[in-house]
Amino acid sequence: MPDKIKIAPSILSADFARLGEQVAEVTVAGADYIHIDVMDGHFVPPITIGPIVVEAVRRWTDVPLDVHLMIDNPERHIEQFAGAGADIITVHAEAANDLGELIESIKNLGVKAGVSINPATPIDAIENVLSSVDLVLAMTVNPGWAGQAFMEEVVDKIVQLRRIMDRRGFAAELEVDGGISPKTARRVVEAGGRVLVAGSAIFTKGKSVAETMAELRVSCGDVIL
Ligand code: DX5
Ligand code: ZN
């Protein structure tokens, strides 16, 4: 298994009153992406942040911004997020009217396009875009909140996704999001996940992000570092 594991701290668990500093801290600690969870109060119950915050985060880091849109009607907002400095825009298959067209519109904005599926959504729902996306995001919790328990039952789907992508030569990165901690990270990597999103495991009271990120990396063991 040749690729390096990437770590994408989710700022949803950061201290929003000192967001810039926390983004700078994870940058120094070696974050590969900054994961930004956008929620609209419709696709998922909470409301989090919009393009204005993406723009602010952009000023604190050169690390690629991985924007996870948990919103309805994503086609209405992708241009603003691209303009705000997103490097990767990921949309949910469950929220798209025409997924293929949406992925093309994201790419036409000059940013990378990702597609995400909820734990209950089958791979079939994204089959037609697997060859064209840059990133596939498998949710291992139902989206909406940080700090939920990792759903073991999704591991099989990650294995299947890895198999399909390798067999058919698709280059998309396989990212996994939800409940990832030093306890679950290794299973995700062994299943084929290559980008680990983590919120509550990275932004933890009483520990530095350098410490928590190092713990996460070590927990992947000698699988891939
Ligand atoms: C959940 C979000 C996740 C979340 C992860 O809806 O998409 O990115 O912040 O948080 P943890 O790592 O605490 O499960
Ligand atoms: Zn997320």
Measured in angstroms, how far is the CA atom of residue 194 from the centroid of ligand 2? Answer: 15
| pLDDT tens, residue by residue, 131-141 | 999 999 999 99
What is the reported pLDDT for 3? 67
Catalytic-role residue among 3, 37, 40, 156: 37
What is the reported pLDDT for 225? 45
Q: For residue 66, what are the β-bridge partners?
A: 35, 88
Alpha-carbon radius of gyration of the chain: 16
Cα torsion 190, 177, 123, 77: sign: negative
Pocket test for ligand 1, best of 70, 91, 139, 148 (most atoms within 8 A of CB): 148
Pocket test for ligand 1, best of 10, 22, 117, 137 (most atoms within 8 A of CB): 10
Ligand 1 neighbour 121 (Cβ under 6 A): no
Query: How far apart are the C-alpha atoms of 1 and 198, rounded to whole Å?
Result: 22
| Nearest ligand to the CA atom of 183 | 1
Catalytic-role residue among 40, 66, 134, 177: 177
Query: How far apart are the C-alpha atoms of 17 and 142, rounded to whole Å?
Result: 26
The sheet that has 112-117: what strands, in order across it? 6-9, 195-198, 173-177, 135-139, 112-117, 88-92, 65-70, 34-39
Ligand 1 neighbour 13 (Cβ under 6 A): yes
pLDDT-wise least confident of 2-6, 63-67, 97-101, 159-163: 2-6
Say which residues have a Cβ less than 8 Å from residue 40's Cβ, sequence separation at least 6.
47, 70, 71, 72
What is the reported pLDDT for 4? 85
DSSP 8-class letter at 4: P
Query: How far apart are the C-alpha atoms of 10 and 66, rounded to whole Å?
Result: 9
Whether residue 3 lies in the annotated active site: no
Query: How far apart are the C-alpha atoms of 144 and 94, rounded to whole Å?
Result: 14
Whether residue 177 lies in the annotated active site: yes
pTM of the model: 0.97
What's the chain's average pLDDT?
Answer: 96
Q: For residue 195, what are the β-bridge partners?
A: 6, 175
Contact of 10 with 199, CB cutoff 8 Å: yes
What is the reported pLDDT for 74? 98
pLDDT at position 61 over 50: yes
pLDDT at position 222 over 90: no
Buried b (16+ CB within 10 A) or exposed e, 103-142: bebbeeeebbbbbbbbeebeeebbeebbeebbbbbbbbbe
10 Å CB burial of residue 153 (0-12, 13-18, 19+) is exposed
Measured in angstroms, how far is the CA atom of residue 16 from the centroid of ligand 2? Answer: 16
Nearest CA to ligand 1 atom 9: 146
